[in-house]
Amino acid sequence: MRWRTIKTKKHTKPVLSSKPKVDYAPFWPRLLGFLTDIFMIGLPISLVMMIIFGYDQMHTASGMDLLVHDANAQNNPPSPVASLMQITLFLGIYVWLWHKSGQTPGKKLAQIRVVDAKTLGNAPYWKLILRFIGYFISLITLVGFFTGLLRKDKRALHDLLSGTAVIRVP
């Protein structure tokens, strides 16, 4: 063995990978999970709202109608109490499920999970609340949901705002 070879071997340090390989969830499984959650979480909430506020409440305009200035919103405005209660129920259920296991029923079906982007563990409540609020920002801009298509880590706008990521689970 030559001296130069021994000398260079002595000074080289083994390279340790500091970041584990993360399999980020692509757009389509995320969309499947989101649409499934709308039905699996949204329908029971709608039934609860109908029981509490009556059947007539189901025929009023929605919050989206107010945002887009639909004529239905002018003629039949929604009850602010019912709207706030519905959003609060959605927020509570989503955030609790994300914090508990990282999965809602739709995400479980799609085999994906919401995690803290830095630790890849369960995200704290404040980040998950921010993520839920970010859903509305993504919805208003519409571009927010599709930013994941342009990024290597596939994080949408609401993930970037909250510091969360959606990964695949085996």
Average pLDDT over residues 110-120: 95
60 in Cβ contact with 76 (< 8 Å): yes
pLDDT tens readout for residues 22-52: 899 999 999 999 999 999 999 999 899 889 9
Please report, for residues 33, 52, 54, 76, the alpha-carbon distance to residue 147 in angstroms, rounded to integers and kept in the order given: 17, 38, 39, 35
Mean pLDDT (the chain) is 85
The region of weakest confidence among 74-83, 106-115, 151-160 is 74-83
Higher pLDDT, 72 or 104: 104
Average pLDDT over residues 96-103: 96
CB neighbour list of residue 65: distance below 8 Å, 6 or more residues apart: 72, 73, 78
**pLDDT for 120 beyond 70:** yes
